[in-house]
Every structure is written in structure tokens, then in C-alpha cells.
Structure 1
Amino acid sequence: MLFSSSGSTGVPRVFRYTHFDRKFWEQANARALYSGGLRKGDSAFPMVGFGPHVFAWGVQYTLATMGLPVIPGGGMDGKARASIIERFDPTVLVCTPSYALYLGRVMQEKGQDPARTSVRWITTGGEPFSGVEGTLERIQDLWGAKSLEFYGCTEASPHCGGYSCPEYQAGDEPFIHLMEDIQVWETVDPVTMQPVPENERGLTVCTNLNSESSPQLRFLVGDYTRLSAEPCACGRNHLRAMGCMTGRADDLVNLRGIKFFPVQIEEAVRAVPGTGDEFQIRLSTMDDGLDVMTVAVEHTDPTVAAAIAKEVRSRCEIRCEVEVLPPNTLPKTEMKAKRVRDMRGKA
């Protein structure tokens, strides 16, 4: 089987995996979904494009291994998928966090209440969200369901390396467990690339132990997190990534010497009540050569611009312009969100 990375940080990288590898995916992924709460009696609705991206296929194979009914959801628009949920009552959705928000709004426009549907679990991958303040709560409130983190990367072994347990939202910050029996996880300093102590923030590095065709030794996954070996209240002793994963190093924005992640802008937008689900970060260069940032949001009240700009500055220590647009103006995210438009230095 041939798969590629998402290409969100550059040209997609292609990897191959054998059917021997796939058996290990199924075992690891089934453990992750079971840990999250899925059981016999659940039925799943994967709403993903079944292209060369491993997340969808890994979940599909695993649901079959677990013996759970599956409703294939590729090749449909939001209204069709909303009708499937209304008609067949799946208990599990499989999608990106952005698509969970999008589909919920589609259902509301149709007069349906997502929180009153059969959906009890939302299994998400492809984007950071559990560690993004405001986004996790927004998804769960919209659907009246629990979100499950499904974390991994194509390169270092395609199965789920990070997974949710019943306690992952119980403390001051969410976390995910990392499967230490099949992957060795480390965090390193982003500058020196040397290992950092436990509970110190760093970039993730992974060595996989179970891939026949794509063995990786200390592969730089590049997500920021803090690792903790402290025992979990759920009883599992796998290492925990505290705060989950909050953005890859390649996503880092450098504006006039100030460095920040798009998730920090997302947290600022979510902090202001009434903002829409979509937003854009626009980077451009003025005639005098100054690089500037505009954050475009949706809201019924144009005066919230000042509040959003204040939230951005408190998190990123940078001033920005805020453009407030009417609701349903920005393009809806139906797959993996790409919210940064960098036009700096372009005519």
C-alpha cells in the first residue's frame, strides 16, 4: 500500500507499507479506539476522502477488525452526510475537527440539532484541536458528544501513536497517551535537537518498532508537546503528551521577528463569544516593506474587532488588523483546514 503525508508543510512525502504492517495498525488502532470508549453496538460513519492518506484507511481497517458496522461516507456533500446521520443513526463520526464543525452547522441550517442525534463519539485526526483552547469545547457542545484524539504520522508508522483515555479531559489540560510498546517517543530542543527533560516543552521525535517496510530511527515528527511519565488515573502507564499536540515546527509563523503558531490565533478567535467557526490569517507586505497580519473572522457585531485584536496581542505579543465579516462569508472547511495565507513579498 502506498500513502503520502498531507503536504501541509511542503511537498507530500510518499511512503509504502505492507500488509504485514497493516496487521499492526489494526491492533494498535483498535486499542486506541477501545480506550476512547468504542464498544460492540457502536456503528461508525467515516467522512473522509479515501485518497492516499493513511488516517482514513487505518480507521477503516480497524473498525472491520473490531467488528463494528461501517457506513462509508466518502464522495458526499454535507447535506447528504447529514441525511445519513438522520436516517441510519451512527454513534461514531470519523473526520477532521474542522469538518465536525462544518457538518454540525450544515445540520443546523437544515433544522437538525447535532446534539440530539445518535452520535456519541467523534474520532478526529489530521489537525491539532484537543490542546487548542476553545475548539475542543466548541465541537463537544455542538454535537453533545465526546471528541477522541487520534494522533500519528504517516512517516514514523501509520497507526495511531497517540490516543485518548477516559481521563484525558479530567485535569487542568487535556493529554493523550503514546504507545510506548510499539514506538519510542522523545522530545528535543528545537534549536540544538538535543533531548529535553521530562515535562519540558520540545519537538516530538519517534522511533517505530513494528514497521517492516518503513522503519524509522529517531524521526523528527516535529509537533510541540510536554512528555510526562506520571501515572494516569485511568490505570494506563503509557507516556502522556500533556496539552496534546499544539502545532508542528514547520507551521511556525515569523512576523517581524515575533514567532507564533496558528493555533494561538485560533485560541484568540475562540475566546471572543459569537465568532464563527472559520477564520483566516493573512500575511502581506505593505508598500513601505513592513510585513503585517490581518485576521479575518465572522461575527454579527463589527465592534468585536478590538476585542479579538486584544486577544491576539495577549497571546502572540503582536499587533494585527482584524476584519469582521458577516456570518457564512469565509469558505467552509470540508477537509484539512488551511487557514494561513502568506502573501508576503508577492506583487
Structure 2
Amino acid sequence: MLAKNIAESKYKLKSKPTEIVSPYANEPWWKEAVVYQIWPASYKDGNGDGWGDIPGIISTLDHVKSIGTTVIWLSPHYESPQKDMGYDISNYEAVDKIYGSMEDMDKLIEEVHKRGMKLICDLVVNHTSDQHAWFKESRSSRDSSKRDWYIWRDARYDAEGNRMPPTNWKSYFSGSAWTWDEKTQQYYLRLFAESQPDLNWENEETREAIYQSAVKFWLDKGVDGFRIDTAGLYSKKYPLEDAKFDPKSHTESDEFLFPELGQTLNGPRIHEFHKEMYSKVTGKYDAMTVGEVGVCSREETLKYII
């Protein structure tokens, strides 16, 4: 009997194991993706200049693949003054020289795909750098054809005649969310750094330029999608009004107050804008998009899912 039981046990060990089928087998590839973020500046220095770079990234792809990665998220690699680590983009269609060349980027896309992985990039389109050609043109004159590509407003004045920003909003970084432009005598909105003016998504021409330069350009290059930066901020609620004083989070001495979420986050046209970008650009590719939204209810979050 013992011999028979041993024989049966051996037989069972040799039997074919039950095949485990993933519940996502028939779903889009990104449903089961394992994403590995690479912050290029500090990741791998390939030429010894103290900055991480694209050739350095390429040299580690076998390791990245070996730990189970299926998607690499590359943080901003675009041309930039680097005042906010690349989140201040001066040219969407160029690679910053500290990271390498466009040829290096083409090689990275090729090598990632060669290993069966995919590559997504950061999409930063709530704002640009103040060194972007669009903003340089916008601030050149009130009559500029790109004046309305950004959000410009006249100053206010107090009872003593002191100039004041258009609203009492505080930047998410520090100080006022408005910066005075001496040449054209108006303020521009910048929810983040002074060097990061907010784009005006209400302008259809601006949106079309964003879709072509920041999105389609890279999808045509072969990237597989985007992690969308500050994806809930593009639609502002107009007219722009002062934030209300809240004794729970502010003191009487506060000069600037954070804008009410209802005026800058999950704005009235935000889902329209994302659906438009999907219908005009990303939906035409086998692309993954995942957005950074921030404070959001469950009900509001579901509206972002296309």
C-alpha cells in the first residue's frame, strides 16, 4: 500500500499544472502594466558630467526588464531652463542637451521596444517655461497673435493707489499666483513658479498647438503614451475671483490665499478638454494615459476615465 501511494504521488507530481489565465488577458496592454519611473537627472550618468542622461538609461534596460517592468515612465526630458527640474518646458519637440540628443531618444524608444517593454513620457501642458517661443511671443505685445494663449489680466489698485494682482490667489509654490509684466503692463497667471506661465486652454488654437507639438509629435516618434502632469488644472472657472478667507487654514496676516478648488481644479471644461485630446490625438494610437489629478472625490475621479 505504501508503494502504491508513493507511485500515485509521483504520478501526480508529473501531471501538467493547471494553466492560470490572467483576468486581463483580453484587455488593453496597460491594464496589467508594471510601471517603473525614471527621473533622468539622477538616474544614470553615462558620460561622467554629473547629470543622468539617456545613454545612461539605455545601459540599464536589461536590469529594468529583469525586475518585471513592462512600462517605463520617463520624467521630463524636454528642452528646459531647468528651474523646476524640466517641468518648465521651453520646447516640447526637443531633448534637453543635458540628457542627450534626439538621436539618443530615438535609440531609447527602439531599445525599450526591442526588450518587449513600452515607454511613456511626462505630458506637461498646464504651463510652459517663460522661455518657450509661444510665451515670448505672447508677452511681446498686447496685440500679439499669441497674447490669448496665456492668461493675462489687468492690475487692481487699493484705496491708496497701490498696484495689486488680479486676484488674491497664492501660487502652489510661494507668493502670488500672478506675475507682473513691466513691458505690457499686465499680470500673467502662473499657478506654480514665476517662470511657468499657465496656458489658456479656453483658446482652441492653443489646444490644437498643444496636441500637435506636445502629444502627436512624440506618439509619432513611437512613445506609447503619457503620464499627464497636473491633469485637473487646465480648466479654470471664469470669471477669476478672489479666494474666500477660511479661518481654519488662513490667518488674518495672509497676504495671498490658495485659490478655491472650484476655480482651478476639476474645472467646468476639464473633461471636455481631455475627451477632445483623446478623440483628436491619443485615441488614434494604442496609447496609455494616466493623469495626476490631486484632490478629487470618487464620483469626480470616475469622470476622468475614458
TM-score by length of 1: 0.22
Tell which structure's C-alpha radius of gyration is larger. Answer: 2
TM-score by length of 2: 0.24
Q: Which has the higher helix share?
A: 2
